Amino acid sequence: MFFCRKAISPPMNTERKIIHIDMDAFYASVEQRDHPELKGKPIAVGHAEKRGVVAAASYEARKFGVRSAMSSQKAKKLCPQLIFVEGRMEVYKSVSAQIHEIFHEYTDLIEPISLDEAFLDVTHNKKGIPLAVDIAREIKQRIRQDLHLIASAGVSYNKFLAKIASDYRKPDGLCTIHPDQAEEFIRHLPIEAFWGVGPITAKKMHTLGIYNGDTLRQCSLEMLQRQFGKNGLIYFNFARGIDDRPVEAVRIRKSIGCEHTLEKDLSAEMALIIELYHVARELIERLKAKDFKGNTLTLKVKFDDFSQITRSVSVKHPLQRLEEILPLAKRLLKGVDHSQHAIRLLGLSVSNPPEEKEGDTAHTSGPIQLELEFKEE
């Protein structure tokens, strides 16, 4: 066990009123709403064929253990009566826009995270409603009445706690974490529930004797930064209920990527490199279309057992050309052990735009310096 030292807590900003809205089983709920014959039945949005994947599952399907990103074959074994429905992304985007119209009646400080979730800063709202929980309750009611869909809401003084709160009482939940409740709430929160802590990080934390907010809070900033790099400060602050990130009404694109599910699981190196080439070509086209530049390349690999890993490499100059990206991608792939499990999906993304780098200096013409690191989703 790793013994942690107690650290002094920095000051905490508790003046803001932040809401996190998360639509419950969004894609599946839209399908059940638009097709009444599907109501009350276990459905999955996705493809039923052999290499299909569940994009979303209704709560009726979740009772059988069906989850998003699960293979269709496994989902059907868990729930033989599962009904597969073809996804309709344009419809989901349209419904999401309708939800945002409701949000805008209360505030324009809206940060979309995906089609089915967003943060709202209602500290100074259009209707002058003093309590954020009343706004959250109204928004939930409007979504139910106008769109016949269900949303969960979390309310607190920062994004971290609002997000945790929205997950706390799903589905159709409404949970508020007040500043005077935060310390006790976080103390009992399992480390797996912390935002940004995936399975690999959670496993590492367990080896260090960190299992919940209480044991995390006992760790010094120095220890956390030594073990988790720049994320150490984030975990240190989260354990103390601190998250000063603003709700960004205009989200700056921070990455561009693409991924390919292979026609069959592969383990032969040459076949994987050919597939990687095609992914890299598509990535280049997307970078050009969006005029995006970034200094970090990330490889995503999903294996035949649906476990997945990512590998990243950072360079001193923006990545835009195939002759730069493909060799780096090959190097990352070479570091992936696929001897035990074949690969079913390959993905590449470019992130870390130059303007985001603090103290960014002129790019040198010297050799590329690599900084390899493991990352989780």
Q: Which two tokens stand for residue 208?
A: 């260090």
In 3D space, the residue among 233, 348, 222 whose CA is nearest the CA of residue 281 turns out to be 348
Ranges in the chain annotated CATH 1.10.150.20: 182-238
Q: Which two tokens stand for residue 106?
A: 């209360």
The count of residues in the chain is 377
Note if the pTM is more than 0.75: no
Cα(293)–Cα(89) distance, integer angstroms = 27
Tens digit of each residue's pLDDT (9 = 90 or more) over 311-351: 999 998 899 899 999 999 999 999 999 989 999 999 999 98
Residue 367 is given by DSSP the state P
Report whether pLDDT(10) > 90.
no
Under a CB-based contact definition with an 8 Å cutoff, are residues 308 and 338 in contact? no
Q: Where in the chain is the domain with CATH 3.30.1490.100?
A: 255-375
Confidence of residue 372 (pLDDT cuts 50, 70, 90): very low
288-304 burial, b at 16+ Cβ within 10 Å, e below that, comes to eeeebbbbbbbbbbbbb
Taking Cα atoms as reference points, which of 241, 239, 281 lies closest to residue 260?
281
- Is residue 100 within 8 A of residue 151, CB to CB? The reply is no
Report which of residues 281 and 362 the model is more confident about. Answer: 281
Q: Which pLDDT tens digit goes with each residue over 175-219? A: 999 999 999 999 999 999 998 898 889 999 999 999 999 999 999
Helices (H), 79-230: 89-104, 132-147, 159-168, 179-187, 199-207, 213-217, 221-228
**Residue range 18-24+93-181, CATH number:** 3.30.70.270
Which amino acid is it at 329? A
CATH 3.40.1170.60 residue window(s) in the chain: 26-89
The residue that leads in pLDDT, 145 or 251, is 145
Distance from C-alpha of 167 to C-alpha of 144, rounded to nearest angstrom = 18
The fold of the 26-89 domain, in CATH, is MutS, DNA mismatch repair protein, domain I (3.40.1170)
What pLDDT is recorded for position 363?
A: 33
Output the CATH code of domain 255-375.
Answer: 3.30.1490.100
Q: What are phi and psi of 44, to 5 degrees?
A: -130, 130
Residues spanned by CATH 3.30.70.270 within the chain?
18-24+93-181
% of residues, the chain, pLDDT over 70:
90
Which amino acids are annotated catalytic? 117
Strand order in 294-303's β-sheet? Answer: 255-266, 343-351, 294-303, 308-319, 371-375
Looking at domain 182-238, which CATH architecture does it have?
Orthogonal Bundle (1.10)
β-pairing verdict for 54-57 and 43-46: antiparallel
CA 293 to each of CA 64, 121, 290, 377: distance values in angstroms, whole numbers, following the listed order: 43, 30, 9, 21
